[in-house]
């Protein structure tokens, strides 16, 4: 891959921050190391992690300093194992270090086809929408507009579900578990933006959230990563004061894996 110097430096700094954040979360007890001396910071020391991963402590320090070195996949897998990363975190680590995800995972977005745009309308009365990789809402039906008020409020940009969660005041009422929902979305944004480091759609959204949301500014350095998934949400539909549990299911489009159809079913 041909990468501009500034972009490579940004990726090295992202890699360094990710490694530091994960090292701080692993305690010596968890990996069977004795506690020796007083610790100024939580988690493993650099030399302890290097020992567990079977690499030079000096070389690992260079990684955390964002120096211009390239780690092999074997070394990164050793670090991932020592840090107890899950598969989504492992993939994120590999991408930050310049080892690419499969082409279909990083396929560029394409315009929504008329056939796909009509699908949420066919799913009435269930709330449904199609989102792009950066959570732009490409199409949605009226039940979704009712369940998520002001989702498509007048703006010079497409509606965006992440922007709605963090910046729309009504979102904190609709989402009964607002904080874990918002944290999860931010973690998924981090994962997706790591796959598209030069895509301005992601950088603009991240900058906007940092500028206007104190929570986004506070949580971003935690460096959580997460993949999209299905599950349950407690929501307050229009006219109701108590939460209702919805099951939601996400389907990636076969020819456009960055586009996802999301459907909600009231339990």
User: For the segment 24-78, what is each residue's pLDDT rounded down to a tens digit?
Assistant: 888 888 877 776 667 777 788 899 888 888 899 999 999 989 898 888 888 898 8
Flag whether pLDDT at 101 surpasses 70.
no
- pTM metric for this prediction: 0.69
| Sheet strand arrangement including 244-252 | 137-140, 128-131, 260-266, 244-252, 231-235
For 101, the token pair is 């995800």
Flag whether pLDDT at 169 surpasses 80.
yes
Residues 6+ apart with CB under 8 A from 139: 112, 116, 117, 119, 120, 129, 130
Task: Break the chain into its structural domains and give their ranges.
Answer: 5-100, 114-266
Are 248 and 108 contacting, i.e. CB atoms less than 8 angstroms apart?
no
From the number of C-beta atoms within 10 Å of its C-beta (0-12, 13-18, 19+), residue 144 rates as buried
Q: Could you give the CA distance from residue 86 to residue 196 in angstroms, rounded to a whole number?
A: 20
Return the CA Rg of the chain.
21
HSE on the CB side for 258, CA within 13 Å? 23
Quote the pLDDT of residue 104: 38
Q: Among 3.20.20.100, 3.30.70.1880, 3.30.450.180, 2.60.40.10, what is the CATH number of 114-266?
A: 3.30.450.180
Q: What is the CATH number of domain 5-100?
A: 1.10.260.40
| Per-residue pLDDT tens digits for 230-245 | 889 999 988 888 999 9
């Amino acid at each position: 891959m041909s990468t501009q110097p500034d972009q490579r430096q940004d990726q090295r700094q992202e890699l360094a921050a990710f490694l530091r954040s994960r090292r701080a979360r692993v305690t010596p007890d968890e990996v069977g190391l004795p506690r020796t001396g007083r610790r100024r910071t939580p988690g493993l020391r650099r030399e302890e992690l290097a020992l567990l991963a079977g690499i030079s402590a000096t070389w690992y320090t260079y990684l955390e300093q964002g120096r211009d070195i390239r780690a092999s996949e074997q070394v990164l897998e050793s670090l991932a194992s020592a840090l107890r990363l899950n598969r989504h975190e492992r993939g994120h680590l590999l991408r930050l270090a310049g080892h690419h995800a499969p082409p279909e995972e990083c396929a560029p977005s394409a315009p929504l086809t008329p056939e796909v745009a009509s699908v949420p309308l066919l799913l009435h009365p269930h709330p449904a929408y199609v989102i792009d990789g950066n959570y732009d809402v490409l199409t949605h039906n009226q039940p979704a507009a009712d369940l998520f008020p002001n989702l498509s409020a007048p703006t010079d940009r497409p509606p965006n579900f992440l922007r709605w969660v963090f910046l729309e005041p009504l979102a904190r009422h609709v989402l009964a578990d607002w904080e874990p929902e918002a944290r999860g979305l931010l973690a998924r944004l981090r994962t997706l933006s790591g796959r598209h480091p030069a895509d301005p759609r992601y950088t603009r959204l991240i900058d906007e959230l940092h500028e206007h949301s104190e929570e986004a500014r506070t949580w971003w350095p935690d460096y959580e990563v997460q993949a999209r998934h299905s599950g349950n949400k407690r929501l307050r539909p229009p006219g109701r004061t108590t939460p209702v549990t919805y099951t939601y299911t996400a389907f990636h489009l076969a020819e456009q894996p960055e586009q996802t159809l999301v459907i909600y079913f009231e339990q």
